[in-house]
C-alpha cells in the first residue's frame, strides 16, 4: 500500500523535540466507511478519527494516537486533510462557489501543494491589542484540534472561549499579568487576526475575482467538505461493494481493504467486461 508525506508547520511536540514530517497511507474503503459512520459527528471530531486512521508516523512518533493528533494545530490538521484530498482528487481541484454580488457560480482552481506550503505572515508569538484604556499585550498560540473539539457543541460564547484558549499570557496596559478572561471584547478581532497570521491554514480564505461581475470576494477553503467529496457518499461506497462482490465474488471485508484507486481500476474492468457480455 502506498504512502505519502506531508511537512507540518508547527508539528507534534514530545520529549524528543518537535516532529514535522508526517507519513500517511493511502485511503481504503474502510476509511470511507468510517466517514459514513461518523455522519452527524462534529467535523473536528470526525477529522480526528480519520487522520488517526491514516497517519502512520510523525517524525519518530509511530502511529500517533488520536489524543496526540488532537494536539496538532488546526492548520496542521488541515494540511493532513488537504494532502489526503490531493492524493484522491489529483494535484488540482476546482472549487465552485456563488458570487455574493451577482449569485453566479465561480470556478476557482485549488492547487493543493501551494495551499499546504503556506507559511505564516508573522513568527512572533506576542501581539499588541489596542483598546480604549490602552494597549494590552498577548502571548499567543494557534488553536489545536483539542480546542476545536471542546467547542464543537456550539452555543453562546464558544468563539470567545476558542480565542481565550489561544492566549498563553495576557498583560493589561499597566504591564500586569491578568487572567485571559479579562481580554476586552474590543480586542477580539485583533487577537483573531494575529492567531490566523500564526497558522494560516486554520481558516484558509481564497481571494476570487468574479468573472461575471468583476466583484472581489473571499471564500473559505474547507478541507472537511473537500474530504467528504473526495471519499464519496454511502450510496457510492456500497454500490461499489455490491458491484465488485457480484463481479469478483469477494467479501465486503476484502473489498473495503482495497485502496480506492485500485478499486476504481477493478470496477472499470468489471464494467467493461459486462458491456462486452
pLDDT digits (tens, 9 = 90+) for 49-59: 999 999 999 99
| 18 strand-pairing partners | 13
Distance CA 4, CA 83 (A): 9
- HSE at residue 239, side-chain half, CA atoms within 13 A, is 7
Band (156; pLDDT cuts 50, 70, 90): low
Q: Is 177 left (phi over 0), alpha (psi -120 to 50) or beta?
A: beta
For the ranges 110-114, 148-152, 188-192, 236-240, which has the lowest average pLDDT?
Answer: 148-152
> What's the chain's Rg over C-alpha atoms?
22
* pLDDT at residue 166, as a whole number: 95
Distance CA 71, CA 74 (A): 9
Instruction: Flag whether pLDDT at 9 surpasses 90.
Output: yes
- pLDDT one-digit tens code per residue, 128-140: 999 999 999 999 9
Q: What are phi and psi of 13, to 5 degrees?
A: -100, 135
On average, the pLDDT of the chain sits at 92
- pLDDT one-digit tens code per residue, 241-258: 999 999 999 999 999 999
Instruction: Flag whether pLDDT at 21 surpasses 90.
Output: yes
Band (160; pLDDT cuts 50, 70, 90): very high
- pLDDT one-digit tens code per residue, 67-117: 999 999 999 999 999 999 999 999 999 889 999 999 999 998 999 999 999
Closest CA to 78 of 217, 191, 194, 220: 220
Amino acid at each position: 500500500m502506498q504512502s505519502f508525506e506531508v511537512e507540518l508547520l508547527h508539528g507534534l511536540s514530545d520529549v524528543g523535540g518537535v516532529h514535522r514530517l508526517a507519513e500517511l497511507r493511502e485511503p481504503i474503503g474502510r476509511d470511507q466507511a468510517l466517514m459514513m459512520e461518523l455522519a452527524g459527528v462534529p467535523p473536528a471530531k470526525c477529522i480526528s478519527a480519520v487522520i488517526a486512521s491514516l497517519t502512520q508516523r510523525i517524525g519518530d512518533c509511530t502511529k500517533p494516537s488520536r489524543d496526540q493528533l488532537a494536539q496538532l494545530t488546526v492548520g496542521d490538521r488541515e494540511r493532513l486533510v488537504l494532502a489526503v484530498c490531493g492524493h484522491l482528487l489529483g494535484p488540482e481541484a476546482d472549487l465552485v462557489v456563488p458570487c455574493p454580488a451577482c449569485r453566479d457560480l465561480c470556478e476557482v482552481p485549488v492547487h493543493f501543494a501551494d495551499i499546504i506550503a503556506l507559511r505564516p505572515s508573522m513568527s512572533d508569538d506576542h501581539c499588541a491589542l489596542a483598546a480604549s484604556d490602552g494597549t494590552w499585550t498577548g502571548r499567543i498560540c494557534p488553536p489545536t484540534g483539542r480546542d476545536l473539539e471542546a467547542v464543537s457543541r456550539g452555543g453562546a460564547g464558544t468563539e470567545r472561549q476558542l480565542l481565550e484558549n489561544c492566549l498563553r499570557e495576557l498583560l493589561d496596559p499597566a504591564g500586569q499579568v491578568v487572567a485571559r478572561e479579562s481580554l476586552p471584547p474590543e480586542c477580539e478581532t485583533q487577537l483573531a487576526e494575529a492567531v490566523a497570521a500564526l497558522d494560516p491554514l486554520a481558516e484558509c480564505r481564497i481571494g476570487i475575482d468574479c468573472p461575471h461581475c468583476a466583484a472581489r470576494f473571499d471564500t473559505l477553503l474547507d478541507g472537511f467538505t473537500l474530504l467528504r467529496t473526495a471519499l464519496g457518499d454511502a450510496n457510492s461506497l456500497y454500490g461499489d461493494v455490491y458491484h465488485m462482490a457480484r463481479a469478483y465474488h469477494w467479501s465486503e471485508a476484502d473489498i473495503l481493504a482495497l485502496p480506492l484507486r485500485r478499486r476504481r481500476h477493478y470496477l472499470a474492468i468489471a464494467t467493461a467486461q459486462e458491456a462486452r457480455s
